[in-house]
Amino acid sequence: MRPLIGISCRLAQDNTWSPALVGVRRGYVDAILAAGGMPVLIPPQLDQSALQAMYELLDGVLLSGGADIDPGLYGEEPHPQLGAVEPERDATELVLTRWAVADGKAVLAICRGMQMLNVALGGTLYQDLPSQYLSSFDHEAGVNQQTWRQPDHVLMLDESSRLAEVLRTATPVVNSLHHQALKDIGSTLKVVGRAPDGVVEAIEGTGEAFVVGVQCHPEELWQATDTRWQHVFRTFVDAAAYRRTNQQHDMTATLVR
């Protein structure tokens, strides 16, 4: 059986007059399918009991990209350059992230997802890099050029990081479509990669479980721009599958006793 990978979703509009859609860009879903996982879309409006019922089925959680996170969740007032926020999604992902990390489920966190992973574990964010972080870099190059798949800057990884090992490089060139970034790092997380201007662009958990966050969008890179990112999705799904298998063994052992 394919491991079940929950993918957090957003509420979105396809035009101004129609009711909202629940969804996620297909690159995430395609990446999980290609890596051998079974994608399970997690609606942002689940109440806690519905979320828990879905969560218990999952072997791994993919926190996807999207809008800015409410700065109130890390104790700050909104900055003038803060973009739109999604309160329902924030609430759902905050709980989901804390559960998954506490239970040692595999977590892959992308862009906003990495920011959510950090905030859920007590970290903080720069609400707007251009006005709060001194750099000549344009981390919104992809947005300004309206392209997702164009590599924009090097991601300088620690040689000893899980990401460098899986990617088989410590210097991938990545896309960049973000105006926020991590500031203070949450508990049980460590920085493993930065942009050349020092902006944190990759984090990992300090424990045994697969907990990886990246600021770039590998779901738009793995098919053509840089196929090494397929290894990251596959390692994530394999970690979820491994945990599922071991838990079944644990249950079998319990029954035998």
| Catalytic site positions | 111, 217, 219
Question: Measured between alpha carbons, how far is 83 from 167 in angstroms, rounded to an integer?
Answer: 32
Instruction: Name the one range near Mn ion by CB under 5 A: 42-50, 163-171, 174-182, 244-252.
Output: 174-182
Q: Does 180 bind Mn ion (CB under 5 A)?
A: no
Task: Tell me which of 8, 127, 176, 180 binds Mn ion, using CB under 5 A.
Answer: 176
Neighbours of 75 (CB within 10 A): 7
Instruction: Name the one range near Mn ion by CB under 5 A: 8-16, 21-29, 120-128, 168-176.
Output: 168-176
Question: Is residue 113 within 8 Å of 218, Cβ to Cβ?
Answer: no
Task: Tell me which of 139, 179, 217, 234 binds Mn ion, using CB under 5 A.
Answer: 139
Nearest residue to Mn ion, by Cβ distance, number only: 176
Query: Using CA atoms in the order 146, 153, 203, 7, what is the torsion angle rounded to 10 degrees?
Result: 20
Q: Which is nearer to Mn ion, 127 or 176 (CB)?
A: 176
CB of 214 to Mn ion, least distance (A): 10
Half-sphere exposure of 211 (CA within 13 A, CB side): 27
Instruction: Name the one range near Mn ion by CB under 5 A: 5-13, 52-60, 80-88, 173-181.
Output: 173-181
Q: How far is CA 15 from CA 10, 20, 27, 84, 148, in A?
A: 15, 9, 21, 17, 22
CB of 158 to Mn ion, least distance (A): 17
Q: Which amino acid is at 94?
A: L
Phi then psi dihedrals of residue 167, to 5 deg: -75, -20
Instruction: Name the one range near Mn ion by CB under 5 A: 15-23, 41-49, 99-107, 131-139.
Output: 131-139
Q: Which is nearer to Mn ion, 105 or 139 (CB)?
A: 139
Q: Which is nearer to Mn ion, 137 or 242 (CB)?
A: 137
Q: Give the x-and-dash track for 2-21 against Mn ion (CB under 5 A).
A: --------------------
Q: Which is nearer to Mn ion, 45 or 169 (CB)?
A: 169
User: In sequence order, which residues have a C-beta less than 8 Å from that of residue 168 and are 6 or more positions away?
Assistant: 228, 231
Tokens of 240: 């979820």
CB of 216 to Mn ion, least distance (A): 7
User: In sequence order, which residues have a C-beta less than 8 Å from that of residue 17 and are 6 or more positions away?
Assistant: none
Question: Measured between alpha carbons, how far is 79 from 68 in angstroms, rounded to an integer?
Answer: 11
What is the β-pairing status of strands 106-110 and 60-63? parallel
Q: Which is nearer to Mn ion, 72 or 198 (CB)?
A: 198
Q: Contact residues for Mn ion (CB under 5 A)?
A: 139, 176, 195
